[in-house]
Every structure is written in structure tokens, then in C-alpha cells.
Structure 1
């Protein structure tokens, strides 16, 4: 049996579409065959809620009187990039407070960054803005101090260069001191292990070759509607794979875009990792159209069918040693064995909220408030991963 997205959308608009969350599908496959499930369901909804620091907001302030051309700008003390137009800004979620002239943080006790400012704006809060201008004949203003909110700025949308890793790693610390990382604190001597994927419920692991998504795919983003804009940075579809085609580590990523003015602050939250920095907790949901039996077969994977590498962060190199791979059933059990030692595990991804997003997206589709979008172009499947090399300048001395 085969369907098209147009046929599925017709069923959505008429109120006859059958939608299951990914968790519901996996449960029903215990009693249904792949062929039977394909006959019954039209769309599978997925969701994840996790830190996504490679995110940010594009903001257009609108012209001032007299006109201002931004040279430097701070939103609640957080610097925003202003080299993209007279009054256009890009605020990165991981951006932190400026350094003071002595080289220390302007406010060492302020555990706040760009993600918090973005979340506050989405929540409707007013944010102080301070700007310095590049004075020219057509932009004579030298500075600006004001308050902004999402209602007083023109455009305010998220453009996230790298979200939704298809798979990720498990972080551990084999050293003698605590480490503070993008996975959170890692305790010494293998005191804990942190993973950052929902395993068999992770959206892209159920579409390993990105057959069902592409540029222009409509998604749930931060409680509103967003789109896949491009491949994500560090997109690496050539990652090694198991026999079931799931990658054994970080692989595909997506660049996402969406109108922040329409988002729900419940699904966009600033966060801070101790001694590491700011990030953004973000909810993303991907609908998977059931075009044929292959879609259901791919979605039948279980946590024991998907693995992630255990990486030792105590070695400060790009290529770190590993303790092999572990499957997500073991990770979700709460403990794993590493070199004979029992190690506690914890997810950085909220498994509960990911399920809530899948349920919310299902409700939207059943109500006819969300239809599927045909991709305008596929995402590349041949990107290599290129590390940056260090080059030294030869000495000119004899």
C-alpha cells in the first residue's frame, strides 16, 4: 500500500486521518504486523525536548529617529551580533555576558545568556536594549537605550543552525576531578553517565536516511509551527551504521526556522550549565507521513536496537577514547556497566516532555490545524565531517 502526502492531507482536512504517536505505534506493533499497521495509520508524530545551544533569534528593531546603524548591541547585557543590517540583530542562545576591561565576566554570579533573553521575549517580557551606532551621513545617531518586547519589534524568529541530532553520545569522566560539560557535570572515576537522545523515540532515528523530511517540511517548533530550513551544521549522514541503518553516533542534523512571536514559552526555556554556559531548552516535533510499509518498518526499532558511543571527556582532545557502545535500553534502565563498574545514567533529553510534544502535534493534526508539507528539496546524504586543522606559520628567523 502506498500513499502520497496530498492524499494524507485530504484526509486531515476531512477529519478522517488516523494519527498515532511514535510510542503508540511501537506499542501496537506488539500485536500488529507492519502491513496491518500501515493499513491503519496515516501519520506518526514524534517529539523531543532538550538543550539545543546551536539556536538563536533574528530580530529587526525597526528604524529610529534620527536613524541608527547598529555597531554594537546588548540585550539585557547579552551581546547580539549586529553586522547584518542597520537595525537587524542575531542573538545566539549560547551567548554570555560581555567581558569587562579587566578580562573577567561583567557579572560572574549571573547565570544567564542569550537563551534566557530569547525565552523572556517569547514570554512577552520587556528587555532592556543598549546600542552603539556607526555614525554616517545617513545614520547620524550614535547610541540608543530603550526597552523592547515581541510586540515592539518587527521580525522576531528563531533560526537555529543545528538542532535535532539524529543520535548522540554518552558522556563519562574517567579522570580524577569533576568536569563541567555541555552534557552537564560528569563525576570523576566514572561516577555517572549522561546521554542526550531519546533513543528509539528520537525523531530522526526512525527515519534514518531522511526520506520523510526535507527542506520545507512543516514541524512543531517551540509550541508554534516551524520549518526545516536546511541541513544542520555538522550534518554527518555518512556516520557508521548498524545493520538496521541507524547511526552509531552523531549523524544528521537540521537547521530549523519559525516565528518566535507565535511560540509558547512552555516549550522554549533558557537554561544554564554550571561552569559551561547558557543554552536553550527547545521542544521540536516531527510528523512522519506513512507513505508505505517501509515507514512503519523503520519506526519499529526498539531501544535495544539503537546504540551510542561512551566517550571519556577526561581526555581533552577532539578524538577522545571510548568505552565502546551501549544500547538505549541499557541507558534507560538507570545503570550501565563500564569496565565491570556499575555507573548511574541520566538523560539530558526530557523523555516525558518529548511524549507531550508528540501528543500535542497529534492533536493539531486531528483537529485539522496542522497539515503536512511537501519538501521542496531533499537533505544531502553525502556530507563528510571535516575537522578543523591547526596550522602554524613558519618562522622567518634564520
Structure 2
């Protein structure tokens, strides 16, 4: 049975056009302008693929790596990369490095307890830059794995496997953080001044991947994506994936809502799109560039990809008291377009806003993915399992 739409195309048909160099590809902002001007049906007839992008700190990220074996063999029980502890409770020489894990000897922490200059995200950036990092591993020794220690400098190319494996990336929407208390608060959303002295926000607005396919109609297990400057894949819903039933006509949720679990080969990635970050008073993380192509299968997908910054309502949350105590937002919502202007009004007060997401690099991700598709270097994939949207 054919779809109940005037426009109907398949991913296979789009891929054939990509191979022939005939696919029409727009970034999400360009598509927003086209849908406004021509409407969803005409836009769907003209466009095959819309590219999205975001570049933002994504704390639930990390590196799954294997250091390889050399005689005598070892089963590591403790592992460090540049002094950052890794989780080694896996088989033999497999380990996982989390981006928020700080180095045990961080000089900043010695001067300012609780603050860290270098962590797992910085190790990943150093590896992608081609730098050698210090590997130290300890083991208890067994008959089949007799070695008890190893220490050497290694590069990314020398690791047997290096997989960027991120349990929770690409939030569908997110909070605008304020602080109503009379004390400065240090949070993962950055420092928040007392008495609503500033407002920090995240996501890339109309460029955001999951706001352009809000019901996960094309994104699922096996979706090929741009990840860290290389090729990655969606491997399912991310942790804390809780679709918000409250949505507007474009499907935009009123809260953080959906997330993705993703993976990709670190050896094919770029340090331009993977950067270690230190957030004052909170700790370390990794800024990740992530882009998803949205196939325009019909006018419904054209409508969703026509989402504009003014369509996106972001919840205002007090991180001084409400957030740590688990209370919902009591301060309403603000449009993403207002956040981008640099000032919003909260309780009658003009408050300056600051983004954690780089809009410039988010657009660059979408443009780079667009170029890959136009050059025939990137084909779309069919989702093998859906991600729950409600």
C-alpha cells in the first residue's frame, strides 16, 4: 500500500540519486527557509536529504579501546591513560575511558579542590590529534595471563581497537539554566550567577538532529551519522531516553526528551569535532560534533525539517534549588530564537544568555555532512529497529 502522501520516495531511491550525483541536499536552516517560502509539499518535491548538526559538551561519552597483547600476555585490572583512570573490568586488554573522569594528579584540583583541568575527554582529543599518551596498566597475574604490569607511550594507531562509544548523546531539547539563590552555583551548564544573573542553554536549535525528526521516523538502530568528523552509527535509544508527550504541531517536545546511543571508529575522526573541555567547578567533558541526515521521504518529513528556532520552546530551570532536588520547571519556557538574541526576561528581569553549544560548528557539521552526500561519499541507511517516540 502506498503512503498517504503526495510525495513518496524511498531511501533506496535517494541513495541511487546520491550515487549519480543528482541528490538535492540542504542543511536544516536552508530547509526551514524553503518550507516557509514554498510550503511542505513543494519542498518535499524538491529536496531529497536534509542535514543536521550539533557541537556541544556530551558528558555521557567515552572510548572503548583494546591495547593489544604482546608476550607475556596480560589481563589488565587497572588502566590509566595520561593519568586518567579507565574501567578495566572487561576481557583481558579491553578498557573504557569515560570523558568526565579526571586525572588523578590534576594540578588544578590541588589548588582548587573539585576543579579539574584534564580528563578523559582531553585524552581522546590528544589521541585524535596524533599525540602519544602514557599507558599504564596493572594486573594480578594468572596462568594464562602472567604479566603483572605494563607501562609505555602509545598513539591512536598503535591501539588494537579504539571505538568512540557514547551511551547518551544528542538530547532532543534541553534546559535553560538559571540560579535564583543568592550564591554562585557551579554546574555542568557552566557557572550560574546568583539572583538570575545569567542564563545558559544548550542544543543547536533548528539545526538539532532530533528536532528535525522528532518522532524518530527515519532514525533508529543502524542509522549512519556524522560522528566526530568521521562515520558513526546509531545503536539505539540513549540512556535517559524519555519521550515527552507534550509537543507542539512540529513535534518539538517541551523538555529534554529523546537521546541516542552512538558509536564510531575513533581512528577515522578529527580533533576539530572532538574537543576536551573543562567546566569550571564541575569537571571534564568532551564536546562532540554529531550530524544526522534526514531523508525527505514525504511532505511530513519536509514539515518536520522545516522547524524554526521560534518553534522550539526551552524549559527554564532553576539549578540553584529546583534541579538538584528534582523539581520540575516553575518558570515556564522561552523560545530558542529569543535565547539566541542574547537576552531573555525571567520574572520581569532582563537576563543575558550564553550557549554551551557552538552554533557555528553545528552548522559546519551539517555543511560537511551535506558535502559528503553531494560528493557521493556518504549513503543513507535504513533503520533496522525503531526508537520509541512516545
Same topology, TM > 0.5: yes
1:359 lines up with 2:367 in the alignment: yes
| Aligned counterparts, 1:252-263, within 5 A | 252-263=258-269
Q: Separation in 1 of the partners of 2:110 and 2:377?
A: 49
Following TM superposition, by how much is the alpha carbon of 1:109 offset from its aligned partner in structure 2, in angstroms?
7.6
Aligned to 1:57: 63
Aligned 8 A contact 1:56 1:159 in 2: yes
Aligned to 2:3: none
1:372 lines up with 2:362 in the alignment: no
Q: Separation in 2 of the partners of 1:199 and 1:341?
A: 24
1:344 lines up with 2:352 in the alignment: yes
Q: Separation in 2 of the partners of 1:239 and 1:271?
A: 33
| Aligned counterparts, 1:145-164, within 5 A | 145-164=151-170
Q: 1:177 to 1:213 in 2, by over 3 A?
A: same
Q: 1:321 to 1:357 in 2, by over 3 A?
A: closer
TM-score between the two structures when normalised by the length of structure 1: 0.92
Aligned to 1:215: 221
1:298 lines up with 2:304 in the alignment: yes
Q: Separation in 2 of the partners of 1:307 and 1:23?
A: 17
Q: Separation in 1 of the partners of 2:336 and 2:389?
A: 25
Gaps of 5+ in 1: 383-398
Aligned to 2:289: 283
TM-score between the two structures when normalised by the length of structure 2: 0.94
Aligned 8 A contact 2:244 2:255 in 1: no
Secondary structure of residue in 2 paired with 1:31: helix
Secondary structure of residue in 2 paired with 1:90: strand
| Aligned counterparts, 1:221-240, within 5 A | 221-240=227-246
Aligned to 1:391: none
Aligned to 1:79: 85
| Aligned counterparts, 1:66-105, within 5 A | 66-98=72-104
Q: Separation in 2 of the partners of 1:9 and 1:113?
A: 40
| 4+ runs deviating over 4 angstroms | 103-110
Q: Separation in 1 of the partners of 2:81 and 2:217?
A: 40
Q: Separation in 2 of the partners of 1:322 and 1:14?
A: 53
Following TM superposition, by how much is the alpha carbon of 1:105 offset from its aligned partner in structure 2, in angstroms?
9.4
| Aligned counterparts, 1:108-257, within 5 A | 111-257=117-263
Aligned to 2:335: 327
Following TM superposition, by how much is the alpha carbon of 1:328 offset from its aligned partner in structure 2, in angstroms?
0.9
Aligned 8 A contact 1:97 1:106 in 2: no
Q: Separation in 1 of the partners of 2:115 and 2:184?
A: 20
Q: Separation in 2 of the partners of 1:189 and 1:341?
A: 10
Q: Which digits, 9 at most, give the CA deviation of each residue in 1:109-140, with x for residues without a partner?
A: 85000000011111111000111112111111
CA RMSD of aligned residues (A): 1.8
Decide which moves more: 157-166 or 140-149. Answer: 140-149
- Equivalences, count: 380
Q: Which digits, 9 at most, give the CA deviation of each residue in 1:328-386, with x for residues without a partner?
A: 1111111111111000011111111111111101100010000001111111235xxxx
Aligned 8 A contact 2:290 2:365 in 1: yes
Aligned 8 A contact 2:230 2:270 in 1: yes
Gaps of 5+ in 2: 1-6
Aligned to 2:4: none
Q: Which digits, 9 at most, give the CA deviation of each residue in 1:158-190, with x for residues without a partner?
A: 010000000000000111111111111111110
